[in-house]
């Protein structure tokens, strides 16, 4: 964590953290010093401008003993102590500001909600605000690969008592001495294990990390990166929307995760904001509300990716609110010939099939494309896809128990090439992504944060709904906010897949246990069905999903060889009548369309069912 109290003395730096050499070489040289550290402000620069920099080791890391429990309630409470301590020091003005990237941004939301004495403002720069939805379980699906990458590379390597840190140029060795592997293991709560073990927000693990965004009252500047489509972007936008601050601002940027924070113009913006609330020197109207509330970077053209100089071609526009008030939520319908069009098709119901459990190496997907746009059109804001989906097993294949939906929006330039943008690690990414585990499809429409363009899910254990082969389920899939200026002749593609596709990079969802590995079916399974018939009835599945799932487990345990485990790779997902709508600027109609299909008999072994609780039209 990094704290910025005003000071008339030299900076105080408590910890030296490692900075990747390639990244450091590309950082603005103004921010090179002996105390430079990854994702944090450079003390060498900031102390020259009248600030003291306090960088404190979290409990269980660096030189702070105790149990390592990242992003926990305990660490947030300890952060409160650090802020209040800094505000009381003789070298401090009593006003503290927070500034940092990623973890050092995400922790700001949580401490600000606890309202520590002395905290005057925060700048969460590319920092998630919702641990469950933004980072760990996208749509209920475990985002395991990044968690493991981050944990192994940046967390346990810095654990208190870890031997050989100085030799690896990973910070100083622990002053009190090294700990054994057994002691290190006992002194940490492992995120890679905890997130795989726990699935729902009402479990103590996730519930202990919750806080109320509306409790944030200090001025804030939330900086979101359009390229952070699998981490942070959503958190910066939602955090801004829900914070209770009177003076709050949202700014969009592009570029690799580690570089824009240090760009000269961005640092000057940081200084301007901090000066306003920590020094009382307001040059831009931050404290009076005269500064623009929202500053949008408009992505137009194909400038390539991981090219900071080329991205300077993007222009900015300021707005008074988010979402933009003059947005129109425009309906796009999917057609049987894989088109994406604004006219509602009048044909009969038609299915589009694709295989289950795709991977980044072997993607299984379908893509729907708009015609070439006849005029330049800006798409800015939130996106949601309305889909009716079903799943059916192959003949002789295992019984599927869920559907994982992976959605991607892509932009095709007028020349026919896909435009890639700079992702978090400098990798090429598409416009946007979204996810949903269909058993977690329940939406809480009564929640104060629910919007038609942003469905709110609680992700509670009591929200789990059954997924039965052959039945059609209507779902609303949140796609993370995005921006693109579609040029005349350009196209938008909606991709629906059963696993990660291009653009996922290190943020993959490929944990074999989370992606519903189930026992193979044997003939004995059917012999044991009668004994479990009460628990496996359709009524039980609908009304008592936990009893139903317990019955399935008992049936599999009694009838299947535990050594014969097989993924549901032979299943097919069936998309029926997919409807999505996006926010297009400069239009006003906000009507949300609902349709109703009257489904015919299917050829997949059973009759198609009318989607529950939703009306839709047929499409052919």
DSSP 352-388: EEEESS--SSS--EEEEEPPPPSS-EEEEEEEEEEEE
pLDDT of residue 516: 60
pLDDT of residue 397: 82
Which of 14-28, 467-481, 483-497, 498-512 is least confident?
Answer: 14-28
pLDDT of residue 532: 52
Q: Is the pLDDT of residue 576 over 80?
A: no
Mean pLDDT score of the chain: 84
Confidence of residue 27 (pLDDT cuts 50, 70, 90): confident
pLDDT of residue 598: 25
pLDDT of residue 24: 76
Is the distance from CB of 54 to CB of 83 less than 8 angstroms?
A: no
- Tell me what percent of the residues of the chain surpass a pLDDT of 70: 80
Distance CA(262)–CA(290), nearest Å, equals: 25
Distance CA(405)–CA(387), nearest Å, equals: 10
pLDDT of residue 19: 62
Q: Is the pLDDT of residue 20 over 80?
A: no
Quote the pTM value. 0.83
Residues written for the chain: 620
pLDDT of residue 236: 98
* Tokens (6 digits) for 272: 């301007």
Confidence of residue 588 (pLDDT cuts 50, 70, 90): very low
Q: Is the pLDDT of residue 388 over 70?
A: yes
Which has more pLDDT, 316 or 541? 316
Q: Is the pLDDT of residue 44 over 90?
A: yes
> What digits encode the pLDDT tens for the residues 391-437?
999 888 888 999 999 999 999 999 999 999 999 999 999 999 999 99
Which of 207-211, 278-282, 349-353, 608-612 is least confident?
Answer: 608-612
Q: Is the pLDDT of residue 517 over 50?
A: no
Q: Is the dihedral of CA 354, 355, 358, 363 positive or negative?
A: negative
Confidence of residue 458 (pLDDT cuts 50, 70, 90): very high
pLDDT of residue 26: 85
Coil/strand/helix, residue 4: strand
> What digits encode the pLDDT tens for the residues 298-345?
999 999 999 999 999 999 999 999 999 999 999 999 998 999 999 987
Q: Among residues 473, 471, 567, which one has the least CA distance to residue 518?
A: 567
pLDDT of residue 488: 98
Coil/strand/helix, residue 279: helix
C-alpha of 168 from chain center? 32
Distance CA(499)–CA(480), nearest Å, equals: 17
Which H or E run contains 557?
Answer: helix 545-559
Q: Is the pLDDT of residue 499 over 50?
A: yes
Mean pLDDT, residues 86-97 taken together: 96
pLDDT of residue 545: 54
Q: Is the pLDDT of residue 595 over 70?
A: no
Confidence of residue 227 (pLDDT cuts 50, 70, 90): very high
∠ at Cα 175 (171, 177), nearest 5°?
105
Is the distance from CB of 467 to CB of 574 less than 8 angstroms?
A: no
Is the distance from CB of 517 to CB of 400 less than 8 angstroms?
A: no
In this structure, are strands 340-341 and 377-392 parallel, antiparallel, or unpaired?
unpaired
Q: Is the pLDDT of residue 45 over 70?
A: yes
Which of 37-41, 110-114, 189-193, 282-286 is least confident?
Answer: 37-41
pLDDT of residue 553: 53
- Backbone phi, then psi, for 390, in 5-degree steps? -145, 170
Task: Say which residues have a Cβ less than 8 Å from residue 481's Cβ, sequence separation at least 6.
Answer: 233, 234, 237, 381, 382, 383, 432
Distance CA(454)–CA(241), nearest Å, equals: 12
Distance CA(63)–CA(502), nearest Å, equals: 40
Output the 3-class SS for 104-154: HHHHHHHHHHCCCCCEEEEEEECCCCCHHHHHHEECCEECHHHHHHHHHHH
pLDDT of residue 537: 53
Is the distance from CB of 78 to CB of 57 less than 8 angstroms?
A: no
Is the distance from CB of 506 to CB of 145 less than 8 angstroms?
A: yes
């Amino acid at each position: 964590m990094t704290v910025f109290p005003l000071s008339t003395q030299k900076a105080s730096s408590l910890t030296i953290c490692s900075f990747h050499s390639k990244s450091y070489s590309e950082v603005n040289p103004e921010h090179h010093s002996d105390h430079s550290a990854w994702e944090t402000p450079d003390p060498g620069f900031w102390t020259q401008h009248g600030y003291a920099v306090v960088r404190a080791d979290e409990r269980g890391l660096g030189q702070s003993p105790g149990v390592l429990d990242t992003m926990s309630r305990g660490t947030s409470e300890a952060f409160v102590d650090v802020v209040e301590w800094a505000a009381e020091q003789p070298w401090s003005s009593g006003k503290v500001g927070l500034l940092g990237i990623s973890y050092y941004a995400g922790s700001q939301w949580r401490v600000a909600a606890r309202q520590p004495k002395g905290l005057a403002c925060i700048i969460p720069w590319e920092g998630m605000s919702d641990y469950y939805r933004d980072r760990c379980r996208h749509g209920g699906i475990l985002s395991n690969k990044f968690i493991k990458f981050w944990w192994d590379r940046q967390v346990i390597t810095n654990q208190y008592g870890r031997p050989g840190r100085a030799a690896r140029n990973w910070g100083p060795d622990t002053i009190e001495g090294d700990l054994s592997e057994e002691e290190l293991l006992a002194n940490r709560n492992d995120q890679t294990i905890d997130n795989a073990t726990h699935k729902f927000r009402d479990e103590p693990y996730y519930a202990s990390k919750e806080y109320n965004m509306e409790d944030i009252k200090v001025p804030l500047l939330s900086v979101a990166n359009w390229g952070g489509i699998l981490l942070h972007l959503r958190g910066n936008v939602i955090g801004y929307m829900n914070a209770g601050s009177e003076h709050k601002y949202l700014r969009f940027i592009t570029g690799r995760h580690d570089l824009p924070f240090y760009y000269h113009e961005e640092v000057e913006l940081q200084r301007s904001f901090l000066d306003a609330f920590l020094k009382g020197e307001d040059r831009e109207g931050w404290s009076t509300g005269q500064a623009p509330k929202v500053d949008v970077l408009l992505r137009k053209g194909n400038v390539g990716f991981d090219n900071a100089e080329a991205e300077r071609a993007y222009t900015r526009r300021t707005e008074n609110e988010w979402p933009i008030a003059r947005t129109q939520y425009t309906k796009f319908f999917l057609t049987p010939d894989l088109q994406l069009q604004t006219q509602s098709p009048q044909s009969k119901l038609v299915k589009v099939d694709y295989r289950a459990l795709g991977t980044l190496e072997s993607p299984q997907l379908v893509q729907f494309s708009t015609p070439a746009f006849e005029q330049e059109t800006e798409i800015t804001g939130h996106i949601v896809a309305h889909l009716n989906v079903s799943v059916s097993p192959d003949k002789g294949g295992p019984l599927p128990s869920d559907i994982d939906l992976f959605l991607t929006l892509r932009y095709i330039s007028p020349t026919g090439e896909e435009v890639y943008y700079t992702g978090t690690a400098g990798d090429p990414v598409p416009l946007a992504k979204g996810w949903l585990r269909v058993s977690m499809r329940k939406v809480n429409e009564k929640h104060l944060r629910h919007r038609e363009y942003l469905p709110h899910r609680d992700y509670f254990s009591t929200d789990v709904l059954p997924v039965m082969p052959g039945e059609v389920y209507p779902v609303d899939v949140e796609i993370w906010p995005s921006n693109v200026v579609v040029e005349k002749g350009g196209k938008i593609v909606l991709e629906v897949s059963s696993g990660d596709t291009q653009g996922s990079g290190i943020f993959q969802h490929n944990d074999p246990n989370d992606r519903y590995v189930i026992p193979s079916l044997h003939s004995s399974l059917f012999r044991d069905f009668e004994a479990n018939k009460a628990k496996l009835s359709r009524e039980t599945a609908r009304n008592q999903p936990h009893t139903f799932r317990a019955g399935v487990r008992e049936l599999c345990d009694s009838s299947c060889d535990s050594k014969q485990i097989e993924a549901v790779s032979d299943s097919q997902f069936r998309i029926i009548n997919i409807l999505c709508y996006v926010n297009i600027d400069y239009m006003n109609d906000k009507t949300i369309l609902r349709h109703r299909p009257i489904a015919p008999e299917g050829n997949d072994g059973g009759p198609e069912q009318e989607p529950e609780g939703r009306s839709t039209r047929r499409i052919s």
